[in-house]
Amino acid sequence: MRVALVNPAWSFDHSIYFGCREAHLPLELGYSKALLEQGGHEVLMLDGALDGLSNAEMAERVAAFAPTMTVLTTAPTYLFWRCAQPELRVPREFLAALDGRGGRTVAVGPHGSTTPAPTLSKLGVDLVVRGECEEIVAKLADGGALDDMPALAFHRDGDLVVTGGPHAARFTDLPALSWPVEWLQRHPHHHHRYGTEPVGPGAEVEASRGCPYNCSFCAKIDFRDQYRRRDTAIILEEIDGLIAAGVRYVYFIDEIFLPRRDLLEALVERPIQFGVQTRIDLWKPDMLDLLGAAGCVSIEAGVESLTEEGRASLDKKCRMSTDDLADRLIHARRSVPFVQANLIAVAGDDADMVKAWREKLLAAGVWANDPVPLYPYPASPDYRRLWGEPDDRAWERAHEHYLGQFERLSDIQEDEPLPLTELEAACSCR
Ligand code: SF4
């Protein structure tokens, strides 16, 4: 089968989108391509940012390829599925330009994983894949009855058919990915690295997927939930390929990069630096020293609240005191040049305490952000606590709640975020 895989050309005007807007490698499409090619299928993989193409230009390339199936992601790479933009404006723009010339259309991503019905109708695609997508995309290409495949949603005779819940891939043995050289050359971005000029291309890699915790705000119930570790030999094969292609920095997109001695010791010997997101309470001082020696130059650690009650209200299951967390962050900073403690705005925050804590950490070289507001993503426990299981208005409801909750939005977002219905109606193509 001929299969087109598309990461559209993103824009986030008036969006509440929290994620980084630089170009990143679309890992979910990379894995899909690898599995499809293992199955003997022919693949065209396009990425708006990395190919330097608009949605209309990508649609023309896809139409010229004449695929039997076109797979489109609704969020810019796995890295951002947990903080995806709520609106489906951009994927819809690509599909409108494609105008039925891509064969069967399939949407993958966080939106359809949690709310398949509105994703099908907003996008007008033939199928939605729920959950982690690469194995299901490969199954679809291999053929067979849709009803016999897991994790799909589609319409038949006007009725919604959902063949099962969101899919969790095996993940551990997903093959080492290699990327087009021109994509790496268009990827100078070193994700979440600060305080230095990036040298050489950056890349994103996955060492583990999911997380054993269930923090109330974390939008991973329907994808990337259960914790799995990828085989170390495969990770190293992928990183060695990236190094050979000139990459000098990789960002591990893992929800939680847990201490892993074999991988870190192998990285000590390699000419590569890297960044991680993790929980500092899970790292002992000697493992933090090894993390720095292995080449880690960026840690983003979720502290979230400065009180034990605040952390408990977010279900952090953190066993450390706030002072111990600060000490551990400061210890990490001895060998890692950029360490960030993430804080979330929690009702009842003591502004003076937050200010003093931030100043204490800053004096030790650790960055702590101004607490940011939470968005109750439909795939998070917070959403379900507020409103129950997500229904067809879940994204609209979360959006209205969020816009109504805060006077000031995080400085990484657009100044004037619009209601979701307006944002999606603003699509110029329909
Ligand atoms: S520890 Fe991090 S990844 Fe895990 S549930 Fe909490 S916020 Fe999500």
Q: Is the pLDDT of residue 239 over 60?
A: yes
pLDDT at residue 415 in the model:
64
Model pLDDT for residues 29-39, shown as the tens digit of each residue: 999 999 999 99
Model pLDDT for residues 117-172, shown as the tens digit of each residue: 999 999 999 999 999 999 999 999 999 999 999 999 999 999 999 999 999 999 99
The ligand 1 atom nearest the CA atom of 315: 6
Query: Please, which pLDDT band fits residue 102 given cuts at 50, 70 and 90?
Result: very high
The ligand 1 atom nearest the CA atom of 316: 6
Q: Of 84-98, 118-132, 253-267, 405-419, which range is least confident?
A: 405-419
Query: For residue 94, what are the CA distances in angstroms to 62, 77, 125, 268?
Result: 11, 16, 11, 43
Per mean pLDDT, which of 115-119, 307-311, 399-403 is the most reliable? 115-119
- Mutational test site, ligand 1, from 78, 225, 253, 279, max ligand atoms within 8 Å of CB: 279
Query: Please, which pLDDT band fits residue 350 given cuts at 50, 70 and 90?
Result: confident
Query: Please, which pLDDT band fits residue 414 given cuts at 50, 70 and 90?
Result: low
pLDDT at residue 412 in the model:
47
394, two tokens? 């879940």
- Mutational test site, ligand 1, from 18, 83, 213, 377, max ligand atoms within 8 Å of CB: 213
Atom 6 of ligand 1, residue of closest alpha carbon? 215
Model pLDDT for residues 184-199, shown as the tens digit of each residue: 999 999 999 998 888 8
CB 105 within 8 A of CB 37: no
User: What type of residue sits at position 20?
Assistant: C
CA 99–ligand 1 middle distance (angstroms): 39
Query: For residue 335, what are the CA distances in angstroms to 252, 286, 296, 329?
Result: 18, 11, 8, 11
The ligand 1 atom nearest the CA atom of 220: 8
Atom 8 of ligand 1, residue of closest alpha carbon? 218
CA 156–ligand 1 middle distance (angstroms): 37
Q: Is the pLDDT of residue 107 over 90?
A: yes
CA 146–ligand 1 middle distance (angstroms): 33
**What residues line ligand 1, using a CB cutoff of 6 Å?**
211, 213-215, 218, 220, 255-256, 279, 302
- Mutational test site, ligand 1, from 255, 319, 344, max ligand atoms within 8 Å of CB: 255
Q: Is the pLDDT of residue 429 over 60?
A: no
- Mutational test site, ligand 1, from 215, 216, 317, max ligand atoms within 8 Å of CB: 215
Model pLDDT for residues 194-237, shown as the tens digit of each residue: 988 888 999 999 999 999 999 999 999 999 999 999 999 999 99
pLDDT at residue 133 in the model:
98
Query: Please, which pLDDT band fits residue 404 given cuts at 50, 70 and 90?
Result: confident
